[in-house]
Structure 1
Amino acid sequence: MDPRLAAVVKAYDVRGRSPEQLDAALARAMGAAFADETGISDGRGRAVVGHDMRTSSPEIAGAVADGIRFRGASVVAIGLASTDLLYCASGVLDLPGVMVTASHNPAGDNGLKMCRAGARPIGLDTGLGTMAEAASPLLDATVEPAEGTSVETIDFLTTYVDTLLGLAPVKGRRLTVVVDAGNGMAGHTVPAVFDRLDVDLVPLYLELDGTFPNHEANPLDHTTLVDLQAAVREHGADIGLAFDGDADRCFVIDETGAVVSPSAITALIATRHLAHEPGATILHNVITSRAVPEIVTEHGGVAVRTPVGHSLIKAEMARTGAVFGGEHSGHFYFREFYLADSGMLAALHVMGALAETDTTVSALMAEFSRYAASGEINSRVDDAAAVIQRLEADYAEHDLDRLDGLTVTADDWWFNVRPSNTEPLLRLNVEGADEPTMARVRDEVLARIRA
């Protein structure tokens, strides 16, 4: 693989600084390889291409389209899109797709998220590595659209809104909702969706701006939620919603301004699905709260634990027939949405559950929030494997598993350590029966990691 591609090809997508690492030439080469990998290089095939609001995205999307057409396929261009809008188009049209976005990364980055027809994910081990190898000799070649190919431009936003509201209608009392789009793609989708809802919308940073002038569009970093929390309190809002840059993740703020755990959101949405499909399978990854499988079981469902990562979860959903899956990072996956993740669909489920009651978000979520969690804590280490091996020996008297990193489980606490895919970091998550228990285990494990 050419070093220029090796630098930007990650576990689940292509991502790097643009144009220093990801430029038009690399995008064209990957577009051509994508056409080959997805089997549309036959003169009759088509692929859908969308892009976010980053300053480099239109050029990158055009280059991807040129690469696809170089292989004899045509392009359906949906223009500005959130990642879940691209997934929706891929699913409804049954076409492979490319989304140009770097998600929550800084403004100078860009990337490519790719899927097969029906929004089936492509990761490093399921085609992305092969594409990178095939693209390598094209980096310095002339890659131009073939005669007879075309670009058809369509507006898919209405179909996207219709699809989501058909899956999760919001009915009941009128809500006041503050939405922080972080100048990301939720600024494109929120107005279209909320125009169809009986809500009072308080908008924050809905203007599309790939320079992120107000804050990074990364709600996993809770420092980016300060303005949203203040606005919820100031307006006496029922709920606050924060989306990341490509709007495939959503975080929820309660009426007091507190962040609602994505694990609690997973449990809530799981119960809504189980009410309609008793006995259904629900997926949760290794770092979601212990409350999630407990609540799924209590509501008659089957809880299946998975590694972290969207392509792994989507594959497991397909294998098990799971109706829903949730990650503690704010990704939520829906069988009826082509097994894909959608921050907006998760938000609609939460608003729907709230509107059906006369209670608050904090009261609604109380039954789903049972334990104290540390959140994810990163430590820079030289040899993650050696640290994990040492922890495995230190905690050998407890239940251990290696489904994803190392998970150590006791009666009233558990912790998981996982190496980063892209950085020399070890990620720690701890949960305890109460705050003192969690803090004790967290501090003890961190001391061992950083020794």
Structure 2
Amino acid sequence: MSPSSLKFGTSGLRGLVVDLEGEPTRLWVGRFLRHLEARGQTGDRTLLVGRDLRSSSPRISTDVIEAARRLGWQAIDGGALPTPALALESLRRAVPAVMVTGSHIPDDRNGLKFYRPDGEIEKADEAAILEITDPFGDAERQAGPAPVADDTLTERYVARYTAFFKPAALNGARIGVYQHSTVARDVLVDVLKRLGASVEPLGRSDAFLPVDTEAHRPEDVAALRAWGSSGRFDAIVSADGDADRPLVADETGSILRGDILGLLTAQYLGLTTVVTPVTSSSAMEKAPFLRSVRRTRVGSPFVIAGMTDALADGEEVIGFEANGGVLLGSPVERDGRHIEALQTRDALLPILSLLAYGRERSLPVSRLVADLKPGAAASDRLAEVDMVAARRFIAQLETDAAYRDRVLAFEGGVEALDTADGVRMTTGNGSTVHYRPSGNAPELRCYVEAASPEHAVALLAAGLDAARRELQALAR
């Protein structure tokens, strides 16, 4: 069974809630567990289960637990917690995990993220899971025991960071926490206070808000600007729904690009190899403290594969995406303190690294960014697009030079082309425009680089307008 809205993308399985809850979730989780059984990766036949704060997640978590019980597994219910906290516990116990989350997508959608005992599933796992048609039908099994609740998982995740950063690392820092509906809203306040910061919670919401750390909602941009203009904060921090992607604004309320936040994290930690998708800006190659930059397709499975290759070559590695999610590929020793690798996206490490770096250098966040000379880049998305038309658009850009020149005529046509993931075009004016269909939502992403911030803003608007017109024409 494969309802049309449910599919694997760059961040697990996602789709409409009406297509996911109930038996569909039980079948997908059953497939995942049967796949692990075939691989001999069952651990002690225990499954960790976590969820975000969207309205459907408790119901879908119950379906996940029921699937485990039907196959004779013990389910441990970790409740609402950050995805990286669940992943950390999965690795610690060497057992698989399922996180119920739709990340930043709207509340009428949700998803499942699958973890093997040794980390995130890979693309080969996805293919094998899809091949399993009837996970419950081939044999009778004794039902697994009743689920056990464990509310200690988040505290072990917090301890990972309070043990690595100095107890007074953030003394004197004034930090706003945009809480909205991220599952890390209380975790962020707790950790920042433990490290010495003065913290003010902001914008807590009882309803789920689809806060995206890459294509920012206008209302989020406006709120961060207003809080920043008050002069009360050295930075304002937040995360997406499941807290594997950070959102950081500087002392003025200006939002940091996710790839620049990742680059500053690499600098603070002293890691010299970056693995990042093609959507991250060319600031990576310009950073003097890096020895190597390895580019991948978009999605944590591809970043993890790139990190695995870099580690095999003996490099000290960090991975991150343009949306800000940081994956720690190598263990780090700093100031006599140690942190283990965690090869899944995490919001907390980059937030704390940036803030600690600023306190250490006695510099505002905006100055840390300016010192990188990162250039100008911007990104946004067209939401609820016709994905058939979007794929036609990408295919025509890939194959038809005259079409490319017509679409980007406002920027001098196209001089160079990269089709590693979507279509990245270097224009006659030396700028870049990159279109990429989302892997798990009906969205077309647009990323641009230009000579100045003003040019980048104008180029992004023009790029989105051009794509909108073409999609409308192709959908007729």
With normalisation by structure 2, the TM-score equals 0.81
Q: Displacement of 1:286 after TM fit?
A: 1.0
CA distance in structure 1 between the partners assigned to 2:242 and 2:139 by the alignment: 28
Which residue of 2 is the match for residue 58 of structure 1?
A: 58
After the TM superposition, which residues 75-154 of structure 1 pair with which residues of structure 2 at under 5 Å, given as runs? 75-118=75-118, 120-122=119-121, 125-134=123-132, 136-137=133-134, 146-147=142-143, 149-154=145-150
Change (3 A) 1:195 1:445: closer
Secondary structure of the corresponding residue to residue 21 of structure 1: helix
- Alignment partner, residue 400 of structure 2: 390
How much does 1:113 deviate? 0.8
2:421 aligned to 404, 418, 434, which one? Answer: 404
In structure 2, C-alpha distance between the alignment counterparts of 1:114 and 1:329, rounded to whole Å: 20
Structure 1 letter corresponding to 2:362: D
Structure 2: 5+ residue stretches without partners: 330-339, 406-412, 471-476
Pair 1:236 & 2:232 matched: yes
CA distance in 2, matches of 1:266, 1:181: 21
Tell me the equivalent position of 1:339. Answer: 343
Question: What's the counterpart of residue 372 of structure 1?
Answer: 376
- Alignment check: 8 A CA contact 2:380 2:445 kept: yes
**Which residue number corresponds to residue 251 of structure 1?**
247
Q: Deviations over 1:325-368 (max 9, x none)?
A: 22211222112442111111111111111111322111121122
Deviations 1:262-296 (A, max 9, x none): 2221221121233xx5xx3211221212112210x
- The DSSP-based 3-state class of the residue aligned with 2:374 is coil
Report the residue type matching 2:196 in the other structure.
D
State how far apart, in whole Å, the 2-side matches of 1:133 and 1:193 are. 43
Q: Which residue is equivalent to 2:473?
A: none
Aligned to 1:351: 355
Indicate which of 162, 166, 189 corresponds to 2:163: 166
8 Å Cα contact 1:392-1:406 kept in structure 2: no
CA contact (8 A) 2:273 2:291 kept: yes
Which of 354-363 and 433-442 deviates more?
Answer: 433-442
Cα 1:94/1:370, change in 2 over 3 Å: same
Given the alignment of the two structures, is residue 303 of structure 1 paired with residue 293 of structure 2, yes or no? Answer: yes
Asked whether the equivalents of residues 74 and 146 of structure 2 are also in contact (C-alpha less than 8 Å), the reply is yes
Report which stretch shifted further, 30-39 or 244-253: 30-39
Farther off after superposition, 84-93 or 421-430: 421-430
Q: Tell me the amino acid that sits aligned with residue 363 of structure 2.
A: T
Q: Is 2:14 the partner of 1:24?
A: no
- Gaps of at least 5 residues in structure 1 are none
The residue number in structure 2 matching 1:34 is 32
Q: What does residue 260 of structure 2 align with? A: 264
CA RMSD of aligned residues (A): 3.0
Q: Which residue of 2 aligns with 1:413?
A: 431
Q: Distance between the aligned counterparts of 1:398 and 1:242, measured in 2?
A: 38
User: Partner letter of residue 116 of structure 2?
Assistant: R
Are 1:188 and 1:206, in contact at CA under 8 Å, matched by a contact in 2?
no
Once the two structures are TM-superposed, the CA of residue 247 in structure 1 deviates from its matched residue by: 1.2
Matches within 5 A, 1:194-213: 194-206=192-204, 209=206, 211-212=207-208
Q: CA deviation at 1:447?
A: 7.0
**Runs of 4+ in structure 1 displaced over 6 angstroms?**
40-43, 141-145
Alpha carbons 1:408, 1:414 under 8 Å: kept: yes
Q: Does residue 1:217 correspond to 2:211, yes or no?
A: yes
Contact 1:9 1:132 in 2 (8 A): no
Matched, 1:156 2:153: yes
Supply the distance in 2 between the matched residues of 1:64 and 1:144 (Cα, whole angstroms). Answer: 19
Q: What per-residue deviation string (whole Å, max 9, x for no partner) do you get for residues 141-173 of structure 1?
A: 799983454533322122111112334446154
Tell me which moved more, 154-163 or 219-228.
219-228
Q: Is the 8 A contact 1:181 1:244 kept in 2?
A: no
TM-score normalised over the length of structure 1: 0.86
On the 8 A contact 1:178/1:241 being kept in 2, the answer is yes
